[in-house]
Amino acid sequence: MLHKNKLMLKPVSELLGEQFFIPAYQRGYRWTARQVRDLLEDLAEFQQNVHGKPTERFYCLQPVVVKKKAEEWELVDGQQRLITLYIILRYLTSLDAVQGQQCYSLRFETRPDSQEFLQHIDPTRAEDNIDFFHISQARETVKTWFKERPGRDKAILTTLLNDDRAGRNVKFIWYQLHDEAEATTVFSRLNRGKIPLTNAELVKALFLHAGNFKRSGEAVRFQQLRLAHEWDNIERRLQQPDFWYFVSNTPQEDNRIELLLKTIADTLKPPVPMQDPYYIFLKFSHHLKNAKSDPQAVEHLWMRIKHLFMTLNEWFDDQNGYHLVGYLISQKVTLQTLIHWHETSQSKNAFLIQLRKKIKAIALPALAPQGNATENPQEEIAAAISSLSYGDKSLRALLLLFNIATILTNANSSMRFQFRRYKLDSWDIEHISSVSSQMPESTPGQKAWTQTIQQHFRPEDDSAAQDEQYGALQTKFYNQARRLLNKETFDSDAFTKLFNEVQKSFNKNSRKDLENSIGNLTLLDAATNRSYKNAIFPIKRQRIIAADKNTTFVPIATRNVFLKYYSQRVHDMTFWNREDHDSYQRAITQTLATFFSEALL
């Protein structure tokens, strides 16, 4: 009994005599004439190129996924490739010169007519159904291709049927599901793009193939074990959440090394359609096939992957590298772009300057054409950010940068921005002091807001400790909220009056034209934001402090805002007024000016 999935390379010769059945959940045969010709061209190119070369060389076909069912193999994936190869083999073995070769069998669980037609293809019946049409078209394409290339039939058939002893053969990537696997579930995952046979598994199998190593015997075994060990170490490091979300923006459960493989694959020359689900594997496979004259091809390719990993590790361990690279990756700058800048920079400092220039173009696009050489960069930054308003596309990038710059402008800081939390959580641009336009419109929303007001303004036992002005507001709004909630029918008009009075009292020194400016905006995760949206400043401040106490990730600049660290006078922690607004906006300007000036050092 097979208890786990099995991955191996299997020569076509070992499929001869096997029995496959295509289950009911599979669609019919749909390969086009072009796809059939491409396969034949690839086989012919391989056959010509390996003539006289080491016998370990082989041509690798894309995977077939199977599950053993009694004496047959249930074909979960790979139907199109296996049927096409069957048509080619049946055509070749029908020729007098190469008669007598055996083939595998294909049985259709719910389409017996297709099974019979595949064994005896009759072009006159091509219009009977769509399966017959595509099968006939494939057979005619094979026939035409060989007639245009007389004498190639024997060579191609030999290449297809050579076993591993003869070598220079054709192999499938054979993926056998374990006995308890549910084939229909696997098929569904395959067709939704959740492919159990990943590019990483395929590339690893390609790298570990003994024919790719110059040595033989125990030396090959040692090299295989070393490469496998290094592969696993890289994957283990990428599984660490802080490291993964430093280099990636998207969740991935396993085979995270594919991020590195993709970065390298994009630089390899063989053209492969990006939309191909096996794009990464095919890139590596074609590259190694084209580099077959180099016995160190696998080693050289593996060294590139290791070097990329070590570079990422170096960036992660460096305070500047971690934050600058992490920021750019969060803004969808590709690893390949970052690696290019790194390789073409004359020094580490030059690389960091390049990163800051790109960051400036993203966070302050209005200043990007001017570069860094300005007479008064602080004034220009002040003008650029003062023009920003709630809803501007660059605002999120700017506020994120402010958090990162706050950390980096302190040379003694060992704090690190949590990219993991930033990428896993949904983030909002939040008003520090709520605005009238945010009044809840639905009755449930109005009730929730009123309950929050009642809870917040509930009189304390130690009333003497309360500020006199605040105490009067506390009593007033607590009683209004309690009466509103105790009514049998919720009074929306009374709610509107309460909401407007609270807004007027706690935003009395604010200006309506500044409500949506950057001095009244901060970055916060959506879960926390939803818990106090429309709330007045003291309630928001209370929630932020509670979140910080509970070790919920609160960006440093957001925490500083609600603790009024940027304000010149903090005698009143109840209101967010015009002075607070201006002090906060100046702090953003000064921090960013310092951050960008360091790029000139």
Please name the helix (run of DSSP H) or strand (run of DSSP E) that holds residue 335, with its range, or none.
helix 335-344
User: Does residue 530 contact residue 547 with C-beta atoms inside 8 Å?
Assistant: no
pLDDT tens across 220-240, in order? 667 777 888 899 899 999 999
User: What does the pLDDT read at residue 317?
Assistant: 96
Banded pLDDT at 23 (limits 50, 70, 90): confident
Q: Where are the domains of the chain?
A: 1-195, 431-595
User: What does the pLDDT read at residue 189?
Assistant: 62
Q: What's phi and psi for 310, nearest 5 deg?
A: -65, -35
Long-range contacts made by residues 34-37, C-beta under 8 angstroms, separation at least 24? 35/80, 35/84, 36/84, 36/87, 36/138, 36/141, 36/142, 36/145, 37/141, 37/145
Banded pLDDT at 361 (limits 50, 70, 90): very high
* Across 556-580, average pLDDT: 82
d(CA 177, CA 188): 14
Banded pLDDT at 469 (limits 50, 70, 90): low
Round the average pLDDT of the chain to a whole number and report it: 83
Banded pLDDT at 463 (limits 50, 70, 90): very low
* Percent of the chain with pLDDT strictly greater than 70: 86
* Percent of the chain with pLDDT strictly greater than 90: 32
- Beta strand 19-22 pairing with 427-431: unpaired
Banded pLDDT at 330 (limits 50, 70, 90): very high
pLDDT higher than 70, residue 379? yes
* Across 176-197, average pLDDT: 66
One-letter-per-residue 3-state SS of 172-211: EEEEECCCCCCHHHHHHHHHCCCCCCCHHHHHHHHHHCHH
Please name the helix (run of DSSP H) or strand (run of DSSP E) that holds residue 10, with its range, or none.
strand 6-11
User: Does residue 311 contact residue 339 with C-beta atoms inside 8 Å?
Assistant: yes
Secondary structure (DSSP) of 39-78: HHHHHHHHHHHTTTS-TT-EEEEEEEEEEEETTEEEEEE-
pLDDT higher than 90, residue 249? yes
Close Cβ partners of 505 (under 8 Å, ≥ 6 residues apart): 473, 477
The answer to which of 159-163, 202-206, 261-265, 467-471 has the lowest mean pLDDT is: 467-471
Residue of 315 and 161 predicted with greater confidence = 315
Q: Taking Cα atoms as reference points, which of 554, 561, 551, 596 lies closest to residue 581?
A: 561
pLDDT higher than 70, residue 130? yes
User: What does the pLDDT read at residue 3?
Assistant: 65
pLDDT tens across 80-127, in order? 889 999 999 989 887 544 445 578 999 987 777 888 899 889 999 988
Highest-confidence segment of 138-152, 315-329, 404-418, 528-542? 315-329
Q: Taking Cα atoms as reference points, which of 394, 407, 391, 329 lies closest to residue 364?
A: 394
pLDDT tens across 253-283, in order? 888 999 999 999 999 987 778 888 788 988 8
Residue of 436 and 399 predicted with greater confidence = 399
Q: What is the pTM of this model?
A: 0.66
Helix (H, G, I), strand (E, B) or coil at 256: coil
Query: Residue holding tokens 């056998």?
Result: 176
Query: Residue holding tokens 């007519």?
Result: 113
pLDDT tens across 477-518, in order? 889 889 988 988 999 899 888 888 887 777 665 666 778 899
Question: In this structure, how many other beta carbons lie within 10 angstroms of the beta carbon of residue 550?
Answer: 8
pLDDT higher than 70, residue 2? no
User: How far is C-alpha 285 from the geometric centre of its chain's CA atoms?
Assistant: 23
- Beta strand 105-108 pairing with 19-22: parallel
Residue of 562 and 183 predicted with greater confidence = 562
